[in-house]
Structure 1
Amino acid sequence: MIDQRALPARLEVVACQNASRVAEAIADMTVRGAPAIGVSAAFGLALAGLQSTAADVPAWRADLASAAETLISARPTAVNLAWAVHRILRVAEANLPLADLRERLLSEAQRMADEDVATNRRMAELGSALIQDGDTILHHCNTGALATVDWGTALGVIRMAHEQGKLIFVLVDETRPRLQGARLTAWELQQYGIPYAIISDGASGYFLRSGQAQKVFFGADRVAANGDVANKIGTYMLALAAHTNDVPVYSVVPSTTVDLSLANGDQIPIEERDADEVLGIQIKGESVVPTGAKARNPAFDVTPHSLLTAIVTEKGIVYPPFIENLARTLRAEN
């Protein structure tokens, strides 16, 4: 996997040799983005299945269960992580010889990776219809190929619009405190040749109120049944500013990110990360905060469904009322 902590200064690839290392890579954000960590976890569990020294199937499944617990606990907010692990565990329940089961897990993980690419491309095709020639799009966090297996979610939509020949411009939120927008989204846009400008998170309201942005796009790590979305911290304030200024707001997510078991966003667990991510910022080698300062560092916030114009999935673009249309769309055949 690409080590996203090193970008944009260096393009480095990390090899994970076991499930524990995959869990560590997910937790320390070597790999990030809901679809990407889901597929990474699937391969991590397949590794556990290949490397287990168990002599019989029950003991082998016990080893898998232990590895699954480690992987799921790496990051709690993204529903794709638990979904991917449980999908691999279901394959492990097949009534097959141990050698066949080991191979079946690896095949299933690869199938999930291939499905992610197809899903993202389909979302890009559907969502690109929402972007008009000449649009300036305000984008939060990173939702491109780095956050998935390929193409991406919200940034995949933007990329597709660009490849269709639409003349677009992207305003890239820095996305503090880890700067996924400034470091990763800007880097990806450069690779695609899409014009952009980085803005501070606090500047988004200015561009929305002054009419300098026509659309807002972001992804999500979990979507509740009523359409509330949990996404990178700062998304809620961005959606509020866009809604106040009558700018359309779109969340782009694969159907696996929708968690119909949760009635609303209040039930989504929100990861709080180490305060050092906030306190460790330096200018010219010196800390910008007083010695002994404290910080809070929620990694996500919840944007109420009332602020969203639509949710783009590979099964279709879902409009309000989300409580009805999300479930109906997810039940539809591709």
Structure 2
Amino acid sequence: MMHPAMIRRQRWMTVSLFLLILLTIFVSAGLGYSSLSYDRLLPTLFGQGTFKEEFALFSVRLPRIFVTLLAGMALALSGAILQTITRNDLADPGIIGINSGAGVGMALFYLYFPIHAGLFVYMLPFVSFISAFAAASLIYLFSYQKHTGLQPIRFVLTGVGFSMALSGVMIVLISSAERTKVEFIAKWLAGNIWGTDWPFIWALLPWLIFLVPFVLYKCRTLNLLGMNEPAAIGVGVAVSKERMQLFAAAVALAASAVSITGGIAFVGLMAPHMAKALIGPRSQMHLPLALLLGGWLLLIADTIGRNLLEPDGIPAGIMVALLGAPYFIYLLLRK
């Protein structure tokens, strides 16, 4: 049973993070290549702006804001699941090869399959999931030992190796492609938010609507899987079945996000750790905070990156990596 003071603390932090996200959305909506002054944001939002102001807000700023927010949430929840079921604080979908697996599927689909503009947006998350799940399954199998189960350190090292190999496959795939397609895939690799229209939000949102409640429902199971396997088995958990279900959910969350935002790493590493530092390791407590922190981290990284250099800015993936790489090294040294 959770202490009432801890529940109050979580609620206070959730409200604070929600307000921080709203503030960041407000700041992000007023910044960009097309000027939109802050005193015109609310009138434009309620339909009292000029054509230029409404176009800048509704067709450029808000879709990008919501895409980064949702993708950050998906990556954070994916990282939290992976860290728990592997019992490894270094697990992250970008580091262990899941994002690279999704990227290979995306590249194959984009380069070699007939693309219908209307279906492309909605098919891409499915294709990325299939490719990422195939790569993740191989990583899982290579990390698993019959008598000792999943090896956390071996899991991360195998994932890093697969990530490097799959990145090489991406380079081979684009080496003979058309220049325009190569430019798109290069932007994807850099973590450039490319899906910045409303259809991309509708393509990503169903994945979160289904998977977020499923993962939150499995919080008790996640707590038990975070223990050692004999303890989890002793309280009646079907360890292999539950781990595979949650592993598939983590892959689906990461693949659906990066198929639209590009190869972004470290959000899934940092957000769960920050949430645990704020509220503790219990899944019921830290997962909702990790969701909000992940969305905020990617949103603030994209807001800063796209306004540093005009007109294209710095990709959000690079901005996150500038923060995440030192944090990964710190965790590596500590663990």
The answer, yes or no, to whether TM exceeds 0.5 is: no
Higher strand share: 1
Relative contact order: is structure 1 or structure 2 higher (C-alpha 8 Å, sep ≥ 6)? 2
| Structure-2-length-normalised TM-score | 0.26
Greater share of helix: 2
